[in-house]
């Protein structure tokens, strides 16, 4: 496996790197999409090139924007593929809401992280079970926490390799790709939303603000990760 991963490099196109994984890696390969602009680039590459050994899934937290569900639906229709959903465990989220209220995550960082854990981290763990390589749409430009990432890195928490094919892409390159290829994207991006998560936890970003300023906007900047990417 590691010999195949060494073939992945920044001199290859995204398509070339994904084809190497699809054709040469003997193991389970998964791609997690949240239907952001980066993820739509990768989704288009996987489905348009019929890379059938790469599984595509998403985490439906139950609190997503209607515009996000619209991109999901349009993507399924465009490519004729079904993106597999993973949901929170009903009993667990029912107890959280009963104990803390429907919007209890506003009350403390710990309660917000607990909500993220139930709605995102636990479903992700189920989705990644048995996987050897996890493809993500992470880019270094997105936050300070992500500037130290590598194209291929070992994810200790999930015991697998993580592949970030758009690591060094700029926002302009991502947008240009979507426009050129006619790929569906979230219309909230036209309204100042850059990083789009759950509706109660995401706002539009003002001019000059950080990429992640709109996520968990009531919290300190240093705390703005949900636990999916440690």
The catalytic residue positions are: 226
Find tokens 């979507």 and name the residue: 178
Tokens of 167: 């690591």
The span from the CA of 156 to the CA of 152, in Å, is 13
- CA-nearest of 158, 123, 119 to 28 is 158
Query: Quick one: 97 exposed, middle or buried, by C-beta within 10 A (0-12, 13-18, 19+)?
Result: middle
Residue that has been written with the tokens 């994984």 in this structure? 21
**Cβ–Cβ under 8 Å, residues 41 and 185:** no
Helix runs in 160-218, H state only: 171-181
Q: Where are the beta strands (DSSP E) in the chain?
A: 29-32, 54-59, 84-86, 133-135, 152-155, 160-163
CB 194 within 8 A of CB 211: yes
């Amino acid at each position: 496996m590691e010999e195949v991963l060494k073939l992945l490099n920044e001199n290859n196109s995204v398509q070339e790197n994904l084809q190497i994984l699809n054709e040469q890696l003997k193991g389970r390969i998964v791609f997690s999409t949240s239907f952001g602009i980066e993820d739509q680039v990768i989704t288009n590459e996987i489905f348009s090139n019929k890379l059938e050994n790469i599984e595509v899934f998403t985490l439906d937290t139950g609190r997503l924007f209607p515009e996000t569900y619209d991109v999901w639906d349009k993507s399924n229709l465009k490519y004729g593929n079904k993106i597999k959903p993973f949901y929170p465990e009903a009993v667990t989220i029912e107890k959280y809401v009963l104990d803390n209220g429907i919007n209890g995550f506003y009350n403390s960082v710990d309660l917000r992280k607990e909500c993220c854990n139930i709605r995102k981290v636990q479903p992700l763990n189920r989705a990644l079970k048995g996987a050897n390589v996890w493809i993500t749409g992470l880019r270094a430009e997105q936050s300070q926490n992500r500037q130290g990432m590598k194209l291929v890195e070992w994810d200790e928490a999930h015991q697998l390799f993580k592949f970030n094919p758009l690591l060094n892409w700029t926002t302009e390159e991502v947008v240009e790709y979507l426009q050129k290829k006619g790929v569906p994207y979230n219309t909230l991006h036209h309204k100042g939303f850059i990083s789009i998560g759950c509706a109660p936890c995401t706002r539009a970003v003002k001019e000059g603000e950080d990429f992640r300023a709109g996520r968990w906007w009531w919290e300190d900047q240093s705390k703005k990760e949900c636990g999916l990417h440690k």
